[in-house]
Structure 1
Amino acid sequence: MSKSGGNAEVVAKRGDVILQSGQDGVGEGVRNILVSSVVLGLASPVFAAMFDGRFSEGQNLSPASPRTVPLPDDDPESIIMICKIAHMQTAELPLKLAATVLSKIALCCNKYDCANVVRSWAIIWIGALLEDLEAADFEKMPLATHLLELPREFFRVSQRLVRDPTAILSVTKATDGHEFLPLEVFEYLLLRQISYQRRITTAFASIVTGLEFCAASKQALSTFIFGLRRNDLWPVNQCSVLVIKSKLRAVPESPPLYASCTTPNCACKSVARYTKATLIAELDKIYDAVDGICLDCVRQKVLGEQKRECRVPHAMREATVYP
């Protein structure tokens, strides 16, 4: 990025304001960003009020002598990225962001009421995070999608947190020290995640226990359980069906329980199924049954906002109506 005024990063070449974001000794330290007050005013009603002449920050603005505006409490990188998008300087923007970075941008957008500016880019960034099952701090995404006014992404994020978790949801990390979404929303997600994990455990238990009818069936089940253990699938310690299924590929399919049984009328002959295929089918049912949460229902029922038409339809199980 080019420089101006010694150490100001240029977002607008004829800018009349230098935003001084951050604090010395904190994170990245102070970053100076040369911007246009007109562009920021169009992007944010907060900046529009700041620069309309009623306050000192908006008086005698001129590209010849840009006025410095301190923003010590704001994350410098978030302010820079918001300014770049507002000024249409997007050529160097990354197509992927860490969840923590996106969360900070969402908080800045909420502060300056400029979510409209970054919404299109946020959809790209959230889409990339949704594809990354190992994304760190993904718990921050419900708050981010709420602040950025993205109901479909909120649905997908809440769905992903339940059915593709890398760990049990951390409510402390998810709230990020803020109260924009009530604690009960995250507790609801956590309870759904725990229930989902129990269903996975039950699916495994139903496959590997209670079917020991004879020596042949015991041998078939023992072989399958050994394959699960060898691939770290038994006892069940995974949270994601997708991860479990990827590991199941390495587990050999056992023959039906009755395959080598020579006992006439043995109960094993009533279970004419392949163990691995049955387990995968059950896991698919559990996975497909998980829905996302409707952001508009959350806002109406929990935040007390005025009733509006839900932007994610509830028909055909496309979204869970928040209880």
Structure 2
Amino acid sequence: MSVELYKCCPGICPLCHPFLVTIILGLRIVTMSSGITPIILDVDGDVRLCIPGKRNEEASSDQKDNSGAGSVGSSDGGTEVELVVSSKVLCVVSPVFKAMLKGYFKEATELSKMTALSQQYTLKLHEDDPEAATIMFALFHHEHDHIPSAPSTRCLEELAFFCDKYQCTHVMKHCGTNWLRDPKYNRSKHNLKRWDVEIVRLCRCLVFSYVFDLAEDFTRFAWSILLSHKGPICGPDTAAKLLIDHPLLRHEIARRLDAKRFELCQIYHAALMNPMTRDWKSLSGGCVRAGKAVGDYLKWLRHLEILEHDLEFSSHSFWHLLDKPLSGSDTPISTEHYPCVIYGCPCRSDIKTPNNLDLRTPLRAAIHRIQFHEPDVLCLDCIKTNERSTMDETCRIMHSFKGRALSDTKVLGR
């Protein structure tokens, strides 16, 4: 045996380095240790997984904040890890691993040979992310010390790829639901200065909730993307490119979200222009009362920086459009503040109109209507069943669509 050892590994003494070289005579399989301390997920494990990581993966755009004990892997997915796992567990949780390790593939043949020799079988997973794979295999083996409390959004996306590839989304569903409740993933309103980075984070969370069939979280993150994005979601300057061509998502999701944003823009724009398009009776009598009030209203809009001729509000996010008009002074903008000296002027009938008591009322009312549109933004069940769940009334999220295409849906609240 020593002769075979020196032939295969010259210069290495098997007595001094018993764990560095393993020679199986007859099969002549040589396994060189990479110097990486393996993570033991099963003390009796018969498979040693080597996950080199993706060396050419671009750096993550967000900082990791893994607070769970024993979390491994780097933020760019390039650190190699080794895991000792049980092939029986893998076959139970994943039909892909079952076919690979118990079927007629090369891996199954090699595993049976190594098992007969009471040796661990080394399996390399070149295409998988080390951090995501470690979390999943730890979850398979109920080793919760290696599961972080709040992974990065990049890791969430990699987990979606992993579980979709190995068909084990059911294992992650409960854990994923708890993760997405963390405030870390729900801070978009307070991160408007880095809105482009925030959109990428929200898109990754949307992918995660879509793959793991988390209907409530899917709607919530879709709504956050709609509110945080500046301009059209499917436009040339979109920050949500991840949604448009993501391999795990249906391509219509970005289009539906963009159509919903445009619908809300129409509601907002109509309310914004209401004082200027209203039929003022006093204008026909030479009274300037209404003109002065509308002038004050336009000054208020300019002060808020929301007076736009662009119907799509390309330079604004809805967070800005919804928050600004509700803040500031409560002093009403009304024709009542300006005296009229024309005898019998019809402006008196204008003042009696409720909306004329404050010209900001239509816009603020529209804002309150828009805020109730969250359940209607996107329904995961409708998307996956092509609206059939709405007709059958089986949607997990209650919303207003009655089996109609989004582009045909009339403006709500009118």
Same fold (TM over 0.5): yes
CA RMSD of aligned residues (A): 3.7
Tell me the alpha carbon deviations over residues 66-123 of structure 1, each in whole angstroms, 9 at most, x when there is no partner. Answer: 3221111112222122122222233464444444432221111010011111111222
Deviates more, 1:217-226 or 1:104-113: 217-226
**Alpha-carbon spacing, 1:123–1:265, altered in 2? closer, same or farther (3 Å):** same
The 5 A counterparts of 1:47-86 are 47-52=97-102, 54=104, 55-56=108-109, 58-59=111-112, 60-61=114-115, 65-86=119-140
The 5 A counterparts of 1:175-214 are 175-178=244-247, 180-207=248-275, 210=278
**Which residue of 52, 56, 81 corresponds with 1:32?**
81
Structure 1 match to 2:41? 12
Q: Is the 8 A contact 1:35 1:83 kept in 2?
A: no
Aligned residue identity for 2:187? D
Structure 2 match to 1:165? 228
Residue 238 (1) aligns with residue 316 (2):
yes
**Alpha-carbon spacing, 1:311–1:189, altered in 2? closer, same or farther (3 Å):** same
Q: Is the 8 A contact 1:257 1:268 kept in 2?
A: no
Q: CA deviation at 1:268?
A: 4.0
Residue 280 (1) aligns with residue 334 (2):
no
Distance 2:225 2:171 in 1: 26
**Alpha-carbon spacing, 1:109–1:220, altered in 2? closer, same or farther (3 Å):** same
SS at match of 1:259: helix
Aligned residue identity for 1:17? V
Q: How many equivalent residue pairs?
A: 314
**Alpha-carbon spacing, 1:19–1:92, altered in 2? closer, same or farther (3 Å):** closer
Residue 119 (1) aligns with residue 176 (2):
no
Larger radius of gyration: 2
Structure 1 match to 2:384? 299
Q: Is the 8 A contact 1:155 1:293 kept in 2?
A: yes
Structure 2 match to 1:41? 91
Distance 1:297 1:249 in 2: 33
Distance 1:20 1:319 in 2: 48
TM-score (norm 2): 0.63
Aligned residue identity for 1:312? C
Deviates more, 1:115-124 or 1:138-147: 138-147
Tell me the alpha carbon deviations over residues 31-53 of structure 1, each in whole angstroms, 9 at most, x when there is no partner. Answer: 22313223333322222333337
SS at match of 2:82: strand
The 5 A counterparts of 1:80-99 are 80-91=134-145, 93-99=147-153
Q: CA deviation at 1:209?
A: 5.7
**Which residue of 203, 211, 225 corresponds with 1:139?**
203
Q: CA deviation at 1:141?
A: 4.5
In the alignment, structure 1 segments of 5+ residues that lack a partner are: none
TM-score (norm 1): 0.78
Q: Is the 8 A contact 2:38 2:82 kept in 1?
A: yes
Q: CA deviation at 1:174?
A: 0.6
Q: Is the 8 A contact 2:49 2:83 kept in 1?
A: yes
Aligned residue identity for 1:284? H
Distance 1:308 1:8 in 2: 55
Tell me the alpha carbon deviations over residues 246-297 of structure 1, each in whole angstroms, 9 at most, x when there is no partner. Answer: 3335432342413322225415413433234442221111231350433333
**Alpha-carbon spacing, 1:299–1:209, altered in 2? closer, same or farther (3 Å):** same
Distance 2:92 2:307 in 1: 57
Distance 1:307 1:258 in 2: 47
**Alpha-carbon spacing, 1:30–1:130, altered in 2? closer, same or farther (3 Å):** closer
Identity of aligned residues (%): 19
The 5 A counterparts of 1:241-256 are 242-256=319-333
